[in-house]
Amino acid sequence: MKALCIRKGVHLFNEKRIVRMRTPPFRCLFCGSEHGPFNSVEHPIPESMGNDDTVVPKGFVCDACNQYFGSKLEKQIMASPPFNVERVRASIKTKKHGFSKYADDGLILLSHGFWDHALCAMSPEKYKTVFQDNQGVLWVNTPPNYIILLARFLIKMGLELLVLSDTLDVYSSAFDKARRCARFGEGSISWEVAYGRFHKEGDLAISKRFDEHGPLETRRIYEYEMGCMLPNGECQLVFNYLGHCYACNLSKPSLQEYIGKFNFQMEIGSGLMLPGT
Ligand SMILES: [Zn+2]
Protein backbone atom coordinates (compact mmCIF):
# COMPACT_ATOMS: atom_id res chain seq x y z
CA MET A 1 0.00 0.00 0.00
CA LYS A 2 1.21 3.46 -0.86
CA ALA A 3 0.13 6.23 1.48
CA LEU A 4 0.68 9.94 1.55
CA CYS A 5 2.24 12.18 4.13
CA ILE A 6 1.92 15.89 3.60
CA ARG A 7 4.90 18.13 4.00
CA LYS A 8 4.00 21.65 4.98
CA GLY A 9 5.42 24.96 3.89
CA VAL A 10 8.74 26.07 5.16
CA HIS A 11 8.11 28.91 7.55
CA LEU A 12 10.66 31.67 7.66
CA PHE A 13 9.90 33.07 11.09
CA ASN A 14 10.93 32.20 14.58
CA GLU A 15 9.01 31.68 17.81
CA LYS A 16 9.56 35.21 19.04
CA ARG A 17 8.01 36.69 15.93
CA ILE A 18 5.03 34.33 16.10
CA VAL A 19 4.24 35.50 19.60
CA ARG A 20 4.50 39.15 18.61
CA MET A 21 2.32 38.76 15.53
CA ARG A 22 -0.38 37.10 17.57
CA THR A 23 -1.39 40.50 18.85
CA PRO A 24 -3.65 41.36 15.92
CA PRO A 25 -4.34 44.99 14.97
CA PHE A 26 -8.04 44.42 14.19
CA ARG A 27 -7.56 46.35 11.00
CA CYS A 28 -8.22 44.59 7.72
CA LEU A 29 -5.11 44.08 5.67
CA PHE A 30 -7.06 44.41 2.42
CA CYS A 31 -9.94 46.87 2.80
CA GLY A 32 -8.62 48.80 5.81
CA SER A 33 -11.78 48.32 7.88
CA GLU A 34 -11.32 48.67 11.62
CA HIS A 35 -14.88 47.66 12.32
CA GLY A 36 -14.72 44.09 11.11
CA PRO A 37 -16.30 41.88 12.10
CA PHE A 38 -13.20 39.74 12.53
CA ASN A 39 -14.64 36.35 13.36
CA SER A 40 -12.71 34.25 10.83
CA VAL A 41 -9.20 32.90 10.74
CA GLU A 42 -7.74 33.24 7.28
CA HIS A 43 -5.91 30.47 5.41
CA PRO A 44 -3.21 32.03 3.19
CA ILE A 45 -2.98 28.73 1.34
CA PRO A 46 -6.46 27.25 0.83
CA GLU A 47 -7.43 24.31 3.00
CA SER A 48 -8.34 22.40 -0.14
CA MET A 49 -4.68 22.57 -1.17
CA GLY A 50 -3.83 20.55 1.91
CA ASN A 51 -3.20 23.38 4.38
CA ASP A 52 -4.68 22.62 7.78
CA ASP A 53 -2.29 24.48 10.08
CA THR A 54 -1.01 27.70 8.52
CA VAL A 55 -3.49 30.41 9.43
CA VAL A 56 -3.52 34.14 9.93
CA PRO A 57 -5.10 34.83 13.34
CA LYS A 58 -8.36 36.72 13.70
CA GLY A 59 -7.98 40.50 13.49
CA PHE A 60 -5.94 40.79 10.27
CA VAL A 61 -8.59 40.04 7.62
CA CYS A 62 -12.23 41.07 8.03
CA ASP A 63 -15.01 38.57 7.44
CA ALA A 64 -16.20 40.31 4.29
CA CYS A 65 -12.75 40.04 2.68
CA ASN A 66 -12.36 36.48 3.95
CA GLN A 67 -15.63 35.50 2.28
CA TYR A 68 -14.84 37.43 -0.88
CA PHE A 69 -11.52 35.66 -1.38
CA GLY A 70 -13.06 32.26 -0.68
CA SER A 71 -15.93 32.61 -3.12
CA LYS A 72 -14.54 34.91 -5.82
CA LEU A 73 -10.89 33.90 -6.08
CA GLU A 74 -9.99 30.61 -4.43
CA LYS A 75 -13.03 28.72 -5.59
CA GLN A 76 -12.30 29.50 -9.24
CA ILE A 77 -8.57 28.93 -8.96
CA MET A 78 -9.06 25.58 -7.25
CA ALA A 79 -11.57 24.55 -9.90
CA SER A 80 -9.04 25.26 -12.66
CA PRO A 81 -5.88 23.53 -13.86
CA PRO A 82 -3.34 22.72 -12.76
CA PHE A 83 -4.64 22.70 -9.19
CA ASN A 84 -7.87 20.78 -9.79
CA VAL A 85 -6.18 17.96 -11.69
CA GLU A 86 -3.07 17.82 -9.50
CA ARG A 87 -5.11 17.59 -6.31
CA VAL A 88 -6.83 14.49 -7.69
CA ARG A 89 -3.57 12.96 -8.82
CA ALA A 90 -1.96 13.53 -5.41
CA SER A 91 -5.08 12.54 -3.43
CA ILE A 92 -5.19 15.82 -1.54
CA LYS A 93 -8.36 15.81 0.51
CA THR A 94 -10.99 18.52 0.24
CA LYS A 95 -11.85 21.03 2.95
CA LYS A 96 -14.52 18.58 4.13
CA HIS A 97 -11.99 15.72 4.18
CA GLY A 98 -13.34 13.95 1.12
CA PHE A 99 -11.31 12.86 -1.87
CA SER A 100 -10.87 15.36 -4.67
CA LYS A 101 -12.79 15.09 -7.89
CA TYR A 102 -12.32 16.63 -11.30
CA ALA A 103 -15.22 16.81 -13.72
CA ASP A 104 -15.05 18.24 -17.19
CA ASP A 105 -17.06 17.77 -20.32
CA GLY A 106 -17.41 13.97 -20.65
CA LEU A 107 -14.64 13.20 -18.16
CA ILE A 108 -14.50 12.48 -14.42
CA LEU A 109 -11.32 11.90 -12.42
CA LEU A 110 -11.57 10.68 -8.83
CA SER A 111 -8.78 10.27 -6.33
CA HIS A 112 -8.90 7.29 -4.02
CA GLY A 113 -6.10 7.79 -1.54
CA PHE A 114 -3.07 6.74 -3.56
CA TRP A 115 -0.44 9.01 -4.98
CA ASP A 116 -0.33 9.24 -8.75
CA HIS A 117 -3.42 7.10 -9.25
CA ALA A 118 -6.86 8.30 -10.26
CA LEU A 119 -10.11 6.60 -11.16
CA CYS A 120 -11.19 7.75 -14.56
CA ALA A 121 -14.61 7.69 -16.24
CA MET A 122 -15.20 9.18 -19.65
CA SER A 123 -17.60 9.10 -22.52
CA PRO A 124 -16.60 7.20 -25.70
CA GLU A 125 -16.18 10.53 -27.48
CA LYS A 126 -13.86 11.80 -24.80
CA TYR A 127 -11.89 8.55 -24.84
CA LYS A 128 -11.35 8.92 -28.54
CA THR A 129 -10.19 12.50 -28.12
CA VAL A 130 -7.82 11.81 -25.23
CA PHE A 131 -6.29 8.52 -26.33
CA GLN A 132 -6.35 8.70 -30.09
CA ASP A 133 -6.21 12.34 -31.06
CA ASN A 134 -4.10 13.54 -28.14
CA GLN A 135 -2.11 10.35 -27.52
CA GLY A 136 -2.97 10.18 -23.84
CA VAL A 137 -2.45 13.84 -23.11
CA LEU A 138 -5.32 15.44 -21.24
CA TRP A 139 -5.94 19.03 -22.24
CA VAL A 140 -7.95 20.98 -19.73
CA ASN A 141 -9.48 24.42 -20.05
CA THR A 142 -8.85 27.50 -17.97
CA PRO A 143 -11.59 30.05 -17.36
CA PRO A 144 -11.46 33.46 -19.04
CA ASN A 145 -9.01 35.85 -17.40
CA TYR A 146 -7.35 32.99 -15.55
CA ILE A 147 -4.00 34.77 -15.27
CA ILE A 148 -5.65 37.79 -13.71
CA LEU A 149 -7.35 35.61 -11.12
CA LEU A 150 -4.12 33.74 -10.52
CA ALA A 151 -2.19 36.98 -9.95
CA ARG A 152 -4.74 38.19 -7.41
CA PHE A 153 -4.76 34.79 -5.71
CA LEU A 154 -0.96 34.82 -5.37
CA ILE A 155 -0.86 38.42 -4.14
CA LYS A 156 -3.47 37.65 -1.50
CA MET A 157 -1.49 34.60 -0.43
CA GLY A 158 1.77 36.54 -0.36
CA LEU A 159 0.47 39.41 1.77
CA GLU A 160 -1.01 37.01 4.28
CA LEU A 161 2.20 34.98 4.47
CA LEU A 162 4.01 38.27 5.03
CA VAL A 163 1.89 38.75 8.16
CA LEU A 164 3.27 35.46 9.44
CA SER A 165 6.86 36.07 8.42
CA ASP A 166 6.88 39.53 10.02
CA THR A 167 9.98 40.51 8.09
CA LEU A 168 8.34 43.60 6.59
CA ASP A 169 5.42 45.78 7.65
CA VAL A 170 2.60 44.39 5.53
CA TYR A 171 0.49 47.47 6.35
CA SER A 172 3.09 49.75 4.73
CA SER A 173 1.96 51.86 1.78
CA ALA A 174 4.54 49.91 -0.26
CA PHE A 175 1.92 47.13 -0.48
CA ASP A 176 -1.13 49.32 -1.16
CA LYS A 177 -1.15 48.51 -4.87
CA ALA A 178 -0.95 44.80 -4.10
CA ARG A 179 -3.75 44.84 -1.53
CA ARG A 180 -6.05 46.80 -3.87
CA CYS A 181 -5.24 44.45 -6.72
CA ALA A 182 -5.99 41.35 -4.64
CA ARG A 183 -9.21 42.64 -3.11
CA PHE A 184 -10.66 44.92 -5.78
CA GLY A 185 -8.86 43.83 -8.94
CA GLU A 186 -7.27 47.27 -9.44
CA GLY A 187 -4.35 47.00 -11.83
CA SER A 188 -4.76 43.23 -12.09
CA ILE A 189 -4.68 43.31 -15.89
CA SER A 190 -1.00 44.26 -15.81
CA TRP A 191 0.18 42.25 -12.77
CA GLU A 192 2.74 39.70 -13.91
CA VAL A 193 3.02 36.08 -12.83
CA ALA A 194 5.97 33.82 -13.55
CA TYR A 195 5.55 30.10 -13.96
CA GLY A 196 7.91 27.17 -14.18
CA ARG A 197 8.24 23.46 -13.42
CA PHE A 198 10.36 22.82 -10.37
CA HIS A 199 11.05 20.20 -8.87
CA LYS A 200 11.24 17.27 -11.22
CA GLU A 201 8.50 14.75 -10.58
CA GLY A 202 10.82 12.23 -8.95
CA ASP A 203 12.17 14.86 -6.58
CA LEU A 204 8.77 15.38 -4.98
CA ALA A 205 9.39 12.22 -2.96
CA ILE A 206 11.20 13.10 0.25
CA SER A 207 11.45 9.79 2.03
CA LYS A 208 10.30 6.21 1.78
CA ARG A 209 9.88 3.74 4.61
CA PHE A 210 7.80 0.80 5.71
CA ASP A 211 5.26 0.82 8.48
CA GLU A 212 2.82 -1.86 9.60
CA HIS A 213 0.65 -1.26 6.52
CA GLY A 214 3.46 -1.47 3.96
CA PRO A 215 5.53 1.10 2.06
CA LEU A 216 4.91 4.70 3.02
CA GLU A 217 6.17 7.69 1.07
CA THR A 218 6.43 11.26 2.18
CA ARG A 219 5.98 13.63 -0.71
CA ARG A 220 6.42 17.33 -1.07
CA ILE A 221 3.07 19.07 -1.54
CA TYR A 222 3.74 22.77 -1.34
CA GLU A 223 6.43 25.21 -0.34
CA TYR A 224 6.68 28.95 -0.35
CA GLU A 225 9.39 31.50 0.00
CA MET A 226 9.24 35.24 0.52
CA GLY A 227 12.14 36.98 -1.19
CA CYS A 228 13.37 40.49 -0.59
CA MET A 229 15.27 42.13 -3.42
CA LEU A 230 18.04 44.53 -2.50
CA PRO A 231 18.67 47.43 -2.67
CA ASN A 232 15.07 48.47 -3.40
CA GLY A 233 13.48 46.17 -0.80
CA GLU A 234 10.90 44.77 -3.17
CA CYS A 235 9.23 41.64 -1.95
CA GLN A 236 8.38 38.59 -4.04
CA LEU A 237 6.45 35.43 -3.34
CA VAL A 238 7.52 32.10 -4.79
CA PHE A 239 4.95 29.36 -4.36
CA ASN A 240 5.44 25.77 -5.43
CA TYR A 241 2.55 23.32 -5.57
CA LEU A 242 3.32 19.78 -6.63
CA GLY A 243 6.09 20.95 -8.94
CA HIS A 244 4.20 23.90 -10.41
CA CYS A 245 6.19 26.94 -9.40
CA TYR A 246 4.77 30.48 -9.44
CA ALA A 247 6.23 33.86 -8.58
CA CYS A 248 4.80 37.34 -8.32
CA ASN A 249 6.01 40.66 -7.04
CA LEU A 250 4.14 42.08 -4.05
CA SER A 251 5.68 45.53 -4.41
CA LYS A 252 4.70 46.34 -7.99
CA PRO A 253 3.13 44.62 -11.01
CA SER A 254 6.40 44.06 -12.88
CA LEU A 255 8.48 40.96 -12.29
CA GLN A 256 10.99 41.67 -15.03
CA GLU A 257 14.01 42.37 -12.79
CA TYR A 258 13.39 39.17 -10.89
CA ILE A 259 12.56 36.89 -13.78
CA GLY A 260 16.15 36.34 -14.88
CA LYS A 261 17.05 34.79 -11.58
CA PHE A 262 13.78 32.90 -11.45
CA ASN A 263 14.31 31.40 -14.89
CA PHE A 264 17.84 30.45 -13.94
CA GLN A 265 16.52 28.31 -11.10
CA MET A 266 14.01 26.44 -13.25
CA GLU A 267 15.18 23.15 -14.67
CA ILE A 268 12.29 22.57 -17.02
CA GLY A 269 10.43 25.03 -19.22
CA SER A 270 9.56 28.24 -17.52
CA GLY A 271 8.40 31.66 -18.46
CA LEU A 272 6.56 34.80 -17.69
CA MET A 273 2.81 34.55 -18.00
CA LEU A 274 1.59 37.60 -19.82
CA PRO A 275 -1.16 39.34 -17.91
CA GLY A 276 -4.58 39.59 -19.43
CA THR A 277 -4.32 36.31 -21.37
ZN1 LIG B 1 -11.57 43.67 4.72
Measured in degrees and rounded to the nearest 5, phi and psi for residue 111 equal: -90, 155
Give the number of other Cβ atoms within 10 Å of residue 133's Cβ. Answer: 9
**Sheet arrangement for strand 270-273:** 222-229, 234-241, 244-249, 193-197, 270-273
Q: Rounded to a whole number, what is the distance in angstroms from the first to the last CA of the chain?
A: 42
Q: How far is the CA of 28 from the centre of ligand 1 (A)?
A: 5
Using the mean position of ligand 1's atoms as its centre, give its distance from the Cα of residue 106 in Å: 39
Rounded to the nearest whole angstrom, what is the distance from the C-alpha of residue 180 to the centroid of ligand 1?
11
pLDDT in tens, the chain (277 residues): 223 444 334 433 444 444 445 578 899 999 999 998 999 889 999 988 888 778 888 899 999 999 999 999 998 898 888 888 888 888 887 777 788 888 887 888 888 777 777 888 888 888 888 887 878 777 777 777 888 999 999 999 999 998 887 678 889 899 999 999 999 999 999 999 988 877 777 777 777 778 787 777 777 788 888 887 766 778 889 898 888 889 999 999 988 877 766 555 444 344 455 454 4
Contacts of residues 92-101 at CB distance under 8 Å and 24 or more positions apart, as own/partner, are: 92/6, 92/48, 92/49, 92/50, 92/221, 93/50, 94/48, 95/46, 95/47, 95/48, 100/48
Q: How many angstroms separate the alpha carbon of residue 63 from the centre of ligand 1?
A: 7
Indicate the pTM of the whole model: 0.84
CA–centroid distance, 73 to ligand 1, in Å, is 15
Tell me, in angstroms, the distance from the centre of ligand 1 to residue 4's CA. Answer: 36
d(CA 68, ligand 1 centre) in Å: 9
5 and 215 Cβ atoms separated by less than 8 Å: no
Q: Do 240 and 223 contact (CB within 8 A), yes or no?
A: yes
Ligand 1 centroid–CA 40 distance in Å is 11
